[in-house]
Amino acid sequence: MQALILAGGKGTRLRPLTVYTPKPIVPICNRPFLLYQIDTLRRAAITDITLSLSYQPNKIEQLLGDGSDYGVKLKYTVEPQPMGTAGAYKFAEDLIREPTVVFNGDILTDLDLKAVIREHSEHQATATIVLTPVENPSAYGLVETESDGRIRRFLEKPKADEITCNTINAGTYILEPKVLDLIPAGENHSFEYGLFPELLKRKEAFFAHIPARTYWIDIGTPERYLRVHQDLLGNRVGRIHLKERRGDFDSATAAEVDELSMIGDDCQIKPGAQIINSVLGQGCFVEERARVENSVIWPHTRVGTTAIVSGAVVGRGCHIGRSAVVGHGSVLGDKTSLTDYTITGQAEVQAEAVL
Ligand code: GDD
Ligand code: MG
């Protein structure tokens, strides 16, 4: 068994965070996102992993190298332009010799992949797709199944009146290499609109795997990016445990850092500052009486005296001026500089809280 991670999307819904950092390596609790997927594969003893890239491929290759630091063998394919999800798999054809686990490169899950692989071979399936329940399937691929686990229908991004069930495509597949023959070469082609409906039409053995009690999230919007941090900090992701919440940082004795928060190396936290349920990347500087709560701050950002960052995501190398309020829902791109007393996001409530 080998693996292919689809990591070529532009991450438009996660802008401005993805302007300088491609979505597959945005930090999640101070680790590049793809390392969580590599962990999932390694837990299932899969070490032959191809990363299918298109957007800012060099940044990803430079960071992860040949994978030896992470106990896996990484290979890369880089499409000249995005070929679509199935097109990207076809583009990697020369590297594919075995049944392959395919991951959407923006899914964080504590899935037991071994169980999926076992079921795939028991069914002698051509393709197996992992499903997960969600409240509103409209942003995803809705998947209807038969009582024996076969896929009945696949409907990508259904409209409200087309929603017939709550199970969606969780972005994890096991594919037999013979499906490569059904994907046209050199063209943009999609699993969701192309290959999967085609497998159904051909009555191939196409099965669903619905795991019990499994955490699943697509990290591809700022709201969900923040939520996955809250879930990890709150220990709500069954099989993923944060290793070290405290790097090597300087904190005044009169500063408050709660137990949930994760602080990167080389941070400085000044007297009277409060860090609550948040993640600070490496080398952040939080000045006197500033408060950071329920937020994620990327490396080398400075939060000025008595400023408040609440329910926000702040990019790399930002400067939040004195007494500024970065309120709920704010997403600041790298190198943003906020003048003293600026208010962003849902600020009124927060501003009142300062008084
Ligand atoms: N290499 C490559 N080339 N990768 C691509 C391309 C491409 O042309 N297009 C998309 N990808 C990658 C993205 O980087 C992402 O990791 C993954 O494929 C899925 O693309 P998204 O753009 O995030 O799709 P989505 O979230 O709207 O929908 C997909 O994921 C849902 C689960 O989160 C679909 O597969 C849905 O059916 C599914 O429910
Ligand atoms: Mg996605």
The rounded average pLDDT for each run of 10 residues, N- to C-terminus, in the chain (355 residues) is: 92 93 95 95 95 91 95 95 94 94 94 96 97 93 94 93 94 96 94 95 96 92 96 90 85 88 95 97 97 98 97 98 96 97 73 46
Fold type of domain 250-354: UDP N-Acetylglucosamine Acyltransferase; domain 1 (2.160.10)
Measured from CB, residues less than 6 Å from any atom of ligand 1 are 6-9, 52, 54, 79, 82-85, 88, 104-107, 140-141, 156, 168-169, 171, 192, 218, 220
In angstroms, how far is CA 127 from the centroid of its own chain? Answer: 24
pLDDT of residue 81: 87
Residue 218 Cα to ligand 1 middle (Å):
10
Selecting from 3.90.550.10, 3.60.150.10, 3.30.110.40, 3.40.50.2300, what CATH number does the domain 2-221 have? 3.90.550.10
Every domain of the chain with CATH number 2.160.10.10 lies at: 250-354
Residue 280 Cα to ligand 1 middle (Å):
28
pLDDT of residue 48: 97
Please give the backbone phi and psi of residue 337, each rounded to the nearest 5 degrees, phi first. Answer: -125, 120
pTM of the model: 0.92
Residue 283 Cα to ligand 2 middle (Å):
30
Residue 220 Cα to ligand 1 middle (Å):
9
> Which ranges of 185-265 would DSSP assign to H, the alpha helix?
196-201, 222-233
pLDDT of residue 250: 83
Q: Tell me which ligand sits closest to the C-alpha of residue 84.
A: 1
Distance CA 158, CA 180 (A): 26
Q: Which SS3 state, helix, strand or coil, does residue 274 take?
A: strand
Q: Which tokens sit at 95?
A: 């590297």
22 closest CA partner among 40, 37, 8: 8
Which residue has a Cα nearest atom 25 of ligand 1? 140
Index of the ligand 1 atom closest to the CA of residue 84? 8
Distance CA 286, CA 275 (A): 9
Every domain of the chain with CATH number 3.90.550.10 lies at: 2-221
Distance CA 345, CA 211 (A): 37
Distance CA 28, CA 302 (A): 19
Distance CA 120, CA 174 (A): 7
Out of 6, 90, 135, 142, mutate this one to test ligand 1's pocket (max ligand atoms within 8 Å of CB): namely 6
Which residue has a Cα nearest atom 13 of ligand 1? 9
Distance CA 206, CA 124 (A): 9
85 closest CA partner among 123, 46, 141, 137: 141
CA dist 224 to 219, 228, 230, 245, Å? 5, 6, 10, 21
Out of 23, 79, 85, mutate this one to test ligand 1's pocket (max ligand atoms within 8 Å of CB): namely 85
Residue 28 Cα to ligand 2 middle (Å):
15
**Which residues, including other chains, have CB under 8 Å from residue 346's CB and lie 6 or more apart?**
311, 327, 328, 329
Q: Tell me which ligand sits closest to the C-alpha of residue 108.
A: 1
Q: Tell me which ligand sits closest to the C-alpha of residue 156.
A: 1
Residue 171 Cα to ligand 1 middle (Å):
8
Which residue has a Cα nearest atom 4 of ligand 1? 8
Q: Tell me which ligand sits closest to the C-alpha of residue 157.
A: 1
Which segments of 33-150 are extended strands (E)? 48-53, 73-78, 100-104, 107-109, 127-133, 141-145
Cβ–Cβ < 8 Å for 150, 166: no
Residue 329 Cα to ligand 2 middle (Å):
20
**Which residues, including other chains, have CB under 8 Å from residue 132's CB and lie 6 or more apart?**
109, 167, 168, 170, 210, 211, 214, 216
Q: Which tokens sit at 200?
A: 């159904």
